[in-house]
Amino acid sequence: MSSAPYTVVGTPFSTFTRTITMGLQHKGLKYEQIATTPHSEIAQQYHPLGFLPTLVIHEVDGKPVDLKLFESQAIVRFIDRIAPEPSLHATSGVDGIPLEEKMWEFVSLTAFFGFPTVEGGVVKPRVKAIDEGKLSDAEVRVQIKDGVSKLREYLTLMESLMSPDGFAFGDHPTWADFFLFPLLADLRMVPEWDSDAVGDRIKKWIKRMDELPAVKATAAGTLSVGARP
């Protein structure tokens, strides 16, 4: 059995995995990490489809177990239940607006639309081209033109859902920030970050995020520091 109460299965390079490790760090929960890539033999052992992340829970109500929990939005519900503080929820009930649900709306928009738009449409093809070194910058721009246009549309929407200042939902970080950050920290590593697809609100927000201890503690092994899987 692991000496820590939880094991995260997933390479730090995986954005969904980083959301979970940021949450565990923020809440001071101890974990070990098995840094494996999607669909590896190890990933298949822990997740029926070989996806990342899986959280292995080693103890429930004092009883040793090795319970595998996957799907990041289910994992964050577990984390919230065992460690409600410091809260990663939005303050609800301001002016009758259900901010709590808007926060989960933001999370879902990030997981479902943000991941394929940011990673699949722009970051992955751009990093592949950089690593292979075969295409010119102009050729890559043509190749990912549609991806950048979808990125602009997506980020414009996300900016419109954010508070005008501070974190996505105001003065303290929430799961909304923790889902979006790993994607945009990757995006910052490619030239498209400096295109008109990325607005000033996002640029101010990411600087605020950079200050969080949970962000610093989970940077190693990510694209945001130049790593590869």
Ligand X SMILES: N[C@@H](CCC(=O)N[C@@H](CS)C(=O)NCC(=O)O)C(=O)O
15 or 21: CB nearest ligand X? 15
Q: Do residues 25 and 213 lie in contact, with contact meaning Cβ atoms separated by under 8 Å?
A: yes
* Count of residues of this chain found to bind ligand X when the rule CB under 6 A is applied: 10
Q: Do residues 123 and 190 lie in contact, with contact meaning Cβ atoms separated by under 8 Å?
A: yes
121 binds ligand X (CB under 6 A): no
190 binds ligand X (CB under 6 A): no
Q: What 3-state class would DSSP assign to 9?
A: strand
Q: Compute the least distance from the CB of residue 64 to ligand X, in Å.
A: 25
> Residue 79, CB half-sphere, CA atoms under 13 Å: how many?
32
116 binds ligand X (CB under 6 A): no
Q: What 3-state class would DSSP assign to 205?
A: helix
59-98 positions binding ligand X, by CB under 6 A? 71-73
Whole-number Å distance between alpha carbons of 225 and 229: 12
What is the contact mask toward ligand X in residues 10 to 39, using x (rule: CB under 6 A)?
A: ----xxx---------------------x-
9 binds ligand X (CB under 6 A): no
52 binds ligand X (CB under 6 A): yes
Whole-number Å distance between alpha carbons of 123 and 139: 15
Report the interface residues with ligand X, using CB under 6 A.
14-16, 38, 51-52, 71-73, 111
